Amino acid sequence: MADPLSPAQSAALFDILSHYNTFAEIRDFRLPGSLKYYGPPFAVENEKPSTSPALQSLVSKFLLTLPGLEDVPEDFWKVDLYEIMEGFEAANLSESYDKGVIGSRKTLATAISALIEYPVRGTAGGFRKVPEVNHRYDLSKADDLVTAFRNFMDEAIYGTALEDLIMKTAETDKLTDHEPLTQAIHEFILVK
C-alpha cells in the first residue's frame, strides 16, 4: 500500500485536478448542444447530473445571486443566452495549431480557465484562515509573491483588503504609493 500524501502533495494534486477539470469543462463548450446537459439556469435534464459541475456551481452560488441577475426572467437563460452560447459553439473557432500558433478556441479556453480555476478551488476546497500575515515581501522571490497572494486572499475574505485597495486606488494611481502587499500581489498577477 502506498504512503498517504503529505499536505503539500494533497494541495498540489488538488490544484492540478481542479485546473484540468476547469479547463475540460470550458473546452467542452466546443461541442454543439453542451448546454443541454449543463444544468440550471440553462436546460435541465431530469435525473441527469450536470456535465459541468464546477462551472454550474459557480453560476448557481454566485452569479445567480447577484442583485439584478437574481430577478432575470428564466427565458433569458434558457433562450437568449442559450442561443448566444450555441452561436459560439457553432462558430467553428479553430482549436488546432493553425499556421504555427495555438488556435482561437484553445487560447480562449485557456484564458478563461486560468481566471475561473481559483474560484472553483475556493468553492470546492474552502479557504482556511492564515494565522499570521507577513507584511514583508521581496518582489524578486517567487515564494514571497505566492505568500503575498495567499495573504491578500485571506485579508479579502476575512479582513478589509478589497475596501482598502479601492480607497487607496481612489487616492493615487501610482503602484509605489500602495502597501507592500498590493505591490506584491500585482507582481504575482503579472508573473502568473
Q: Provide DSSP, 28-65.
A: GGGSTTGGGGT-TTS---TT---S-HHHHHHHHHTGGG
Per-residue pLDDT tens digits for 68-114: 888 888 888 888 888 887 777 776 655 555 556 666 667 777 778 77
Region 168-190: mean pLDDT is: 87
Q: What pTM did the predictor assign?
A: 0.60
Per-residue pLDDT tens digits for 104-135: 667 777 778 778 888 888 888 777 777 766 67
Q: Which of 7, 11, 8, 40 is nearest to 121 (CA)?
A: 11
Amino acid at 144: D
